[in-house]
Amino acid sequence: MDATRLMVGGLAPEVDAAALRDAFAPYGPLLDAQIQQDATTGRSRGFGFVTFALAADAERARAALHGTRLAGRALQIMVPTASRRRTYRVVRPAE
């Protein structure tokens, strides 16, 4: 688990990476801000991630911004748990 990274849910469709960065920048230097998009439509999936340089800054931002509104929607901010990405192992039949 990376304590410098925050998952931000409840994002309005019009919130882009720049708006997300602007909302979190007052709490410390950001390394990255991204909005997750649908691969087919390119539309926002309603959540994104911000990565701070320091874990203490990430925690301050989470405590200050959780439940506040951005573009009319309440932000849900949490430290992401392990990735849900699945890895598959290729098993070849014995010869």
Structure confidence at residue 87 as a pLDDT band (50, 70, 90): low
Report which of residues 94 and 77 the model is more confident about. 77
Q: Where are the domains of the chain?
A: 5-78
Structure confidence at residue 2 as a pLDDT band (50, 70, 90): confident
The residues, ordered by sequence, that sit 6+ positions from 83 with a Cβ below 8 Å of its Cβ are none
Alpha helices in the chain, H assignment, sequence order: 17-24, 55-65
In the CATH scheme, what is the code of domain 5-78?
3.30.70.330
Torsion angle, CA of 7/8/10/14, rounded to 10 degrees? -130
Give the closest residue to 35 by CA, choosing from 85, 24, 3, 84.
24
pTM (predicted TM-score): 0.81
